[in-house]
Homo-oligomer: A and B are copies of this chain.
Amino acid sequence: MVFPKNIFNSHPKEDGDFFLGIQHILGFKPKKLKIYKKAFLHRSANKRDNEGNPMNYERLEFLGDAMLGTIISHYLYKQVPGGDEGYLTKMRSKIVSREHLNELGKDLNLIQFVESRIPKSHFGDNIHGNVFEALVGAIYLDRGYKYCEKFIQSRVIEPYVDIEQLEGKVISYKSLVIEWCQKQKKSFNFDVYEDTGKDLLKHFAVKLSIEEHVIAKARATSKKKAEERASKRAYFALQNKIDKA
């Protein structure tokens, strides 16, 4: 007699890890774990639902892409009261660009959850952005519009969206900070070190000091990004001083 290995196809230990991993990324508890599993299911896995419909993340990606566009549209609408339709459209397409979404998905290391028959190293860059969109679709189905908005606010808008930078008015916060220090004859130092911690992807941390005082810290998947992020924080901390300089 053969006992089925996994009755109901359930893997309590794996599900627990997946739950915690997803919760960590979302910043809140997922309710229907099954929806999130679908968000990471590549078509090569050839899964089907009970009705025989192909099951993979592409339908959720369709939904998430639309949600993301709407939430960013609303954000821009509120944020830039003087921007006309053309401006808003241009800014939105910069924020939800393929390149940007790939970066977001990569920084959240979403590929760790992807289920596929193709080795992960064979995927191109787009898988990161596609899975990110699918995750947004899954959040919407699981927790509704408000949670979706919350997630996009904390994971897309706060860390990544800088309207001045998108407008091209500010090319680099690092150069603004350096310029200010030189003008003010103040010493500065970017202390960069590897800080991968529990992440699967390599991460870097930066401490930015001015006159030997640490005034901003940041962490990202590249040295350049971490420096830019720390500089941005420093810039806003110093803004009054810089504007008057």
Residues of A within 8 A of B (CB): 49, 51, 53-54, 58-59, 61-63, 66-67, 69-70, 73-74, 77, 81-85, 88-89, 140, 145-146
List 11 contacting pairs A-B, 8 Å CB cutoff, sorted by A. Answer: A59-B77, A59-B85, A59-B88, A61-B85, A62-B88, A63-B73, A63-B77, A66-B70, A67-B70, A69-B69, A145-B145
Q: How distant is A66 from chain B, measured CB to nearest CB, in Å?
A: 4
- Residues of chain B within 8 A (CB-CB) of A58 are 84-85
- Residues of chain B within 8 A (CB-CB) of A70 are 66-67, 69-70
Number of copies: 2
Taking chain A's interface residues, is the majority helix, strand, or loop, or is none over half, making it mixed?
A: helix
Q: How distant is A40 from chain B, measured CB to nearest CB, in Å?
A: 16
Most chain B CB atoms below 10 A, which of A53, A74, A83, A85: A85
A81 and B145 form a contact (CB under 8 A): no
CA distance A59 to B51 in the complex (A): 43
CA distance A147 to B82 in the complex (A): 27
A81 and B49 form a contact (CB under 8 A): yes
Closest B residue to A57 by CB, please name it.
B85
Q: How distant is A131 from chain B, measured CB to nearest CB, in Å?
A: 14
Q: How distant is A138 from chain B, measured CB to nearest CB, in Å?
A: 11
CA distance A189 to B67 in the complex (A): 46
CA distance A85 to B58 in the complex (A): 6
Name the contact of A82 in the complex, choosing from B51, B63, B69 (C-beta under 8 A).
Answer: B51
- Residues of chain B within 8 A (CB-CB) of A85 are 58-59, 61-62
- Residues of chain B within 8 A (CB-CB) of A81 are 49, 51, 53
Q: How distant is A48 from chain B, measured CB to nearest CB, in Å?
A: 10
- Residues of chain B within 8 A (CB-CB) of A61 are 85
Q: How distant is A169 from chain B, measured CB to nearest CB, in Å?
A: 19
- Residues of chain B within 8 A (CB-CB) of A84 are 54, 58-59
CA distance A145 to B66 in the complex (A): 14
- Residues of chain B within 8 A (CB-CB) of A140 are 74
Q: How distant is A35 from chain B, measured CB to nearest CB, in Å?
A: 12
- Residues of chain B within 8 A (CB-CB) of A49 are 81
- Residues of chain B within 8 A (CB-CB) of A83 are 59
CA distance A74 to B137 in the complex (A): 9
Closest B residue to A68 by CB, please name it.
B70
